[in-house]
């Protein structure tokens, strides 16, 4: 049933969405807040973050894990997995898809993670240091490792198809979706895909993020301003975005209530100079975009909008604009570009998946979400969307970058 | 003055806190194997850990065979506490 060579004739479509985000619990709540341009960045108050360089983040304040995870599972999992399980439940319900009713080997789980169960690990590490190794609990091993969310989703829903956990930092969410499409093409019928991240609520996680200069010292909730002349850094965030990706044929066979978008193309490149030094040029991003378009068999002129990575640093923004110009030519100047993550922060493994979700809903509703906090656009040739804008969208491009040199691009289209 | 024994209520608290097994999910018959209420081997390790943290005795890893049912745990822990005292 799983073939080693992908069959490009098997088309991959998005049939369900689930979102846990700083500006909304549930897809429609988050999307409505997004179209309104609501800022979800707040001071970190879950612990005393005053001595850390990162003091602002997109946080999901009203997430109640008990509503989604029973106690037996809750004590052996991290917050990041709770969010992933919650978003999965939402996506499956949205798609009216029940994995239990399918052949177990025909449903896969492919999610991205960037820091694993860091909050769970923080507690266990404190015990280790203060009381020694026997004070570390039994579940540390399975709660922290990067595959925990994929694994627990797979166990809960009985999905035994080829599954994985992908780590590509901020590009992971798109990488997971690209791999989901590849897996569909190899014969699987459905993939629970996307990403989750919860790394803004404990000292250890914040310390790990200090190595990224792009996150230095955001001075307020509006400090993350991609493509603005005053761009001086980004803020991190937590959340989860899960998309159900199905084979178009099987979605039609089961009379899926909705086919929201098709994943037409995907590509990824890697060009970090060193783990903590960004790429020195835009070639890696440009190549990812070009290859994604080639993979989609789509010309630059067919792209109607770009959901940009939006580094929020002057150099990072400059490189992305260069990459768009290189890959899309003159058409880049006519394209609306937007960065809805300005409202929730950079969500690491969830970022690409949440941007893809925004792109899917933009296609559905024919409306582009805004980029917020921008007062002085830095690039005259860039059509930056700063208020929700109606647009007859047919094909859109999503770009994502991860610290350490990860680049990914995804092409999505309205279903045909 | 003798040290109070390890009681079913204490075990119940440990099952709740460290294994996540709520009181109404715990077996009525204390001889019921834990496996029958869905505890896997890692849950038994978590139970051993909970006993260590709560009772201040060390539970060697190989003693998992004594954690098969509520009765076996009560017997094991009380025997260990008696040994520690004497």
CATH number of the domain that A249 lies in?
A: 3.40.47.10
Kindly state whether residues A288 and A311 are assigned to the same domain: yes
Residue B35 lies in a domain: yes
Residue A258 lies in a domain: no
Q: Inter-chain contact A135–B19, Cβ cutoff 8 Å? A: no
Residues in chain B: 86
Residue B35 lies in domain:
8-85
Kindly state whether residues A249 and A275 are assigned to the same domain: no
Residue A60 lies in domain:
12-253
- B5-18 CB burial, b ≥16 within 10 A, e <16: ebeeebbeebbbeb
What does the alpha-carbon distance between residue A282 and residue B61 come to, in Å, rounded to a whole number?
A: 54
Residue B3 lies in a domain: no
Residue A3 lies in a domain: no
Give the pLDDT of residue A4. 83
What does the alpha-carbon distance between residue A236 and residue A58 come to, in Å, rounded to a whole number?
A: 6
Per the CB < 8 A criterion, the answer to whether A118 and A78 are in contact is yes
What does the alpha-carbon distance between residue A167 and residue A75 come to, in Å, rounded to a whole number?
A: 24
What does the alpha-carbon distance between residue A186 and residue A180 come to, in Å, rounded to a whole number?
A: 10
Query: With 70 as the cut, is the pLDDT of residue B3 above it?
Result: no
Kindly state whether residues A183 and A316 are assigned to the same domain: no
Residue B58 lies in a domain: yes
Residue B49 lies in a domain: yes
Q: Inter-chain contact A137–B18, Cβ cutoff 8 Å? A: yes
Residue A2 lies in a domain: no
Token pair of A329, please? 């030519």
Kindly state whether residues A156 and A299 are assigned to the same domain: no
Residue B74 lies in a domain: yes
What torsion do the CA atoms of A346, A341, A214, A85 make, to the nearest 10 degrees?
A: 0
Instruction: Say how far residue A126 (Cα) sits from the centre of its chain.
Output: 30
Query: With 80 as the cut, is the pLDDT of residue B4 above it?
Result: no
Kindly state whether residues A270 and A381 are assigned to the same domain: yes
Per the CB < 8 A criterion, the answer to whether A127 and A106 are in contact is no
How many domains are there within chain B? 1
User: Which A residues 121-150 touch B at CB under 8 Å?
Assistant: 134-135, 137-139, 142
How many domains are there within chain A? 2
Residue B24 lies in a domain: yes
- Which of A271, A239, A393, A374 is closest to A317 using CA atoms? A374
First to last CA, chain B: 13
Reduce the DSSP state of residue B34 to 3 states and report it. Answer: helix
Residue B2 lies in a domain: no
What does the alpha-carbon distance between residue B15 and residue B81 come to, in Å, rounded to a whole number?
A: 19
Kindly state whether residues A244 and A351 are assigned to the same domain: no
Q: Is A73 at the interface with chain B, CB within 8 A?
A: yes
Residue A393 lies in a domain: yes
Residue of B nearest to A138 (CA): B46
Kindly state whether residues A343 and A400 are assigned to the same domain: yes
Model pTM score: 0.96
In angstroms, the separation between the Cα of residue B45 and the nearest Cα of chain A is 6
Strand segments, DSSP code E, in A134-260 are 164-166, 190-197, 239-247
Instruction: Say how far residue A329 (Cα) sits from the centre of its chain.
Output: 27
CATH of the domain at B70: 1.10.1200.10
Kindly state whether residues A227 and A369 are assigned to the same domain: no
Burial label, A105 (beta-carbon count in 10 A; 0-12, 13-18, 19+): middle
What is the pairing mode between strands A406-413 and A395-402?
Answer: antiparallel
Chain A residue numbers with beta carbons less than 8 Å from the beta carbon of B58 are 134
Residue A7 lies in a domain: no
Burial label, A319 (beta-carbon count in 10 A; 0-12, 13-18, 19+): buried
DSSP 8-class letter at A369: P
Kindly state whether residues A244 and A144 are assigned to the same domain: yes
Chain A residue numbers with beta carbons less than 8 Å from the beta carbon of B43 are 72, 138
Q: Inter-chain contact A71–B22, Cβ cutoff 8 Å? A: yes
Interface of chain B toward chain A, CB-CB under 8 angstroms: 16, 18-22, 42-43, 45-46, 48-49, 52-53, 58
Digit-coded pLDDT (tens) for B28-62: 999 999 999 999 999 999 999 999 999 989 999 88
Please report which helix (H) or strand (E) contains residue B51, including its range: helix B41-55
Question: For residue A29, what are the contacts with CB-CB under 8 A and spacing of at least 6?
Answer: none
Chain A residue numbers with beta carbons less than 8 Å from the beta carbon of B46 are 75-76, 137-139
Last residue within a domain, chosen from A213, A232, A253: A253
Chain A residue numbers with beta carbons less than 8 Å from the beta carbon of B49 are 137-138
Q: Inter-chain contact B42–A138, Cβ cutoff 8 Å? A: yes
Token pair of A331, please? 């058409």
pLDDT tens digits for chain A (416 residues)? 688 888 989 999 999 999 999 999 999 999 999 999 999 999 999 999 988 989 999 999 999 999 999 999 999 999 999 999 999 999 999 999 999 999 999 999 999 999 999 999 999 999 999 999 999 999 998 999 999 999 999 999 999 999 999 999 999 999 999 999 999 999 999 999 999 999 999 998 989 898 888 887 678 999 999 999 999 999 999 999 999 999 999 999 999 999 999 999 999 999 987 877 778 899 999 999 999 999 999 999 999 999 999 999 999 999 999 999 999 999 999 899 999 999 999 999 999 999 999 999 999 999 999 999 999 999 998 999 999 999 999 999 999 999 989 999 999 999 98
Residue of A nearest to B47 (CA): A138
Digit-coded pLDDT (tens) for A7-48: 989 999 999 999 999 999 999 999 999 999 999 999 999 999
Residue of A nearest to B17 (CA): A75
Q: Inter-chain contact A76–B22, Cβ cutoff 8 Å? A: no
Chain B residue numbers with beta carbons less than 8 Å from the beta carbon of A131 are none
What does the alpha-carbon distance between residue A10 and residue A187 come to, in Å, rounded to a whole number?
A: 8
Kindly state whether residues A93 and A53 are assigned to the same domain: yes
Kindly state whether residues A225 and A347 are assigned to the same domain: no
Kindly state whether residues A164 and A293 are assigned to the same domain: no
Question: Which of B19, B51, B56, B60 to mutate to probe the A interface, most A CBs <10 Å?
Answer: B19
């Amino acid at each position: 049933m799983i073939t080693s060579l992908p069959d490009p004739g098997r088309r991959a479509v998005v049939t369900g969405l689930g979102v846990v985000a700083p500006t909304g619990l549930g897809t429609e709540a988050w999307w409505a807040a997004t179209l309104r341009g609501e800022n979800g960045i707040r001071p970190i108050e879950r612990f005393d973050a005053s001595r850390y360089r990162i003091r602002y983040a997109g946080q999901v304040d009203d997430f109640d894990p008990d509503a989604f995870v029973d106690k037996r599972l809750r004590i052996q999992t991290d917050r990041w997995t709770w969010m992933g399980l919650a978003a999965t439940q939402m996506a499956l319900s949205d798609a009216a898809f029940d994995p239990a009713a399918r052949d177990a080997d025909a449903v896969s789980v492919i999610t991205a993670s960037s820091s694993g169960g860091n909050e769970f690990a923080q507690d266990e590490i404190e015990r280790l240091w203060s009381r020694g190794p026997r004070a570390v609990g039994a579940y540390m091993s399975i709660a922290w490792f990067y595959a925990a969310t994929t694994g627990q989703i797979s166990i809960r829903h009985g999905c035994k198809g080829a599954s994985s956990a992908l780590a590509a930092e901020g590009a992971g969410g798109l990488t997971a979706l690209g791999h989901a499409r590849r897996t569909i093409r190899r014969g699987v019928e459905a993939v629970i895909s996307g990403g989750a991240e919860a790394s803004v609520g404990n000292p250890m996680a914040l310390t790990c993020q200090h190595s990224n200069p792009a996150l230095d010292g955001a001075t307020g909730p509006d400090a993350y301003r991609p493509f603005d002349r005053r761009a001086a850094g980004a803020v991190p965030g937590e959340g989860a975005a899960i998309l159900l990706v199905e084979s178009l044929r099987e979605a039609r066979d089961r009379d899926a209530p909705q086919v929201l978008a098709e994943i037409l193309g995907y590509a990824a490149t890697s060009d970090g100079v060193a783990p903590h030094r960004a790429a020195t040029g835009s070639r890696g991003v440009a190549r990812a975009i070009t290859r994604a378009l080639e993979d989609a068999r789509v010309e630059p002129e067919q792209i109607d909008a770009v959901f940009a990575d939006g580094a929020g640093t002057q150099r990072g923004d400059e490189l992305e604009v260069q990459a768009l110009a290189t890959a899309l030519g003159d058409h880049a100047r006519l394209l609306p570009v937007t960065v809805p993550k300005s409202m929730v922060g950079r969500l690491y493994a969830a970022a690409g998946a949440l941007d893809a979700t925004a792109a899917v809903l933009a296609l559905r509703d024919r409306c582009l979400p805004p980029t917020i906090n921008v007062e002085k656009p830095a690039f005259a040739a860039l059509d930056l969307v700063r208020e929700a804008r109606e647009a007859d969208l047919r094909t859109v491009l999503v770009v994502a970058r991860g610290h350490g040199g990860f680049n990914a691009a995804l092409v999505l289209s309205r279903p045909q | 003055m003798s040290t109070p024994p390890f009681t079913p209520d204490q075990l119940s608290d440990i099952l709740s806190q460290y294994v996540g097994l709520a009181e109404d999910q715990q077996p009525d018959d204390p001889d019921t194997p834990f496996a029958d209420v869905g505890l896997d081997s890692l849950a038994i390790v978590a139970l051993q850990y909970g006993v260590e943290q709560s009772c201040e005795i060390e539970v060697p890893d190989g003693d998992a065979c004594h954690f098969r049912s509520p009765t076996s745990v009560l017997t094991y822990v009380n025997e260990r506490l008696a040994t520690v005292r004497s």
